[in-house]
């Protein structure tokens, strides 16, 4: 298979499996999405989805969030892990949003990444899923699969993102990154991996992963 044929096979397979992938984090607007993505760092979407309804019942916008103390936020989000850092980030970004952006989530990578506890991946998710601006957030699933599929060197997520953006058409980035995440969870996990079920890796993967 040529690299072009591999890319076409990946896109076709993922479109058949996940024609309309939805973001797995519960949210209702750009602000609640930003908070949910921030909370998901080193946690699971399922766990975050049990906590955000509690948090958002008290504060689902920056104005209400800054009425809570950092300690109150931390007590609510403790089950998702890293709660000291995340609670300070949620409070801090909410205050900055009010002070600098009229209480609105800004639509730029630079502004989003200036918020505390918001990195490039979190900003990319918000840009792609809240504002439909092309981005390719790379999480552990995408990083793992791009390497298994021999489409990146696997050195770091920065290189993986560059390679993904270079190889895949920009008009499908926002959909494709969700499709790869779903595929990685279902067919190509890091643990308990069954190559026979992982049709994409079995068809195009690196030699060390093949029978």
Catalytic residues: 121, 139
Structure tokens at 111: 């502004």
Residue 112 Cα distances to 32, 34, 54, 98, 135, angstroms: 14, 9, 24, 13, 13
Question: Can you tell me which residue has the tokens 């069954």?
Answer: 194
DSSP the chain: --HHHHHHHHHHHHHHH-SSPPPSS--SSHHHHHHHHHHTTTS-HHHHHHHHHHHHHH-SSHHHHTTS-HHHHHHHHGGGS-HHHHHHHHHHHHHHHHHHHTTS--SSHHHHHTSTT--HHHHHHHHHHHH--------HHHHHHHHHTTSS--S-HHHHHHHHHHHS-GGGHHHHHHHHHHHHHHHS-SSS--TTT-HHHHHH--GGG--
Q: How far apart are CA 211 and CA 202, in angstroms?
A: 8
């Amino acid at each position: 298979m040529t690299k072009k044929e591999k890319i076409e096979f990946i896109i076709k397979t993922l479109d058949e499996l996940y024609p309309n992938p939805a973001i797995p984090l519960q949210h209702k607007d750009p602000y609640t999405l930003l908070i949910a993505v921030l909370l998901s760092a080193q946690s699971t979407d399922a766990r975050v989805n049990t906590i955000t309804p509690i948090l958002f019942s008290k504060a689902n916008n920056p104005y209400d969030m800054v009425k809570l103390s950092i300690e109150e936020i931390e007590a609510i989000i403790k089950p998702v892990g890293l709660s000291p850092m995340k609670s300070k980030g949620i409070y801090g970004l909410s205050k900055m949003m009010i002070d600098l952006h009229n209480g609105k989530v800004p639509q730029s990578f630079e502004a989003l990444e200036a918020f505390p506890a918001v990195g490039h991946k979190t900003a990319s998710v918000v840009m792609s899923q809240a504002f439909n601006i092309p981005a390719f957030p790379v999480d552990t699933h995408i990083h793992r699969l791009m390497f298994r599929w021999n489409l990146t060197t696997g050195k770091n997520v920065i290189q993986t993102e560059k390679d993904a953006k270079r190889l895949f058409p920009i008009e499908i980035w926002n959909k494709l990154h969700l499709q790869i995440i779903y595929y990685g969870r279902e067919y190509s996990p890091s643990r308990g991996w069954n190559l026979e079920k992982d049709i994409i890796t079995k068809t195009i993967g690196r030699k060390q992963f093949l029978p």
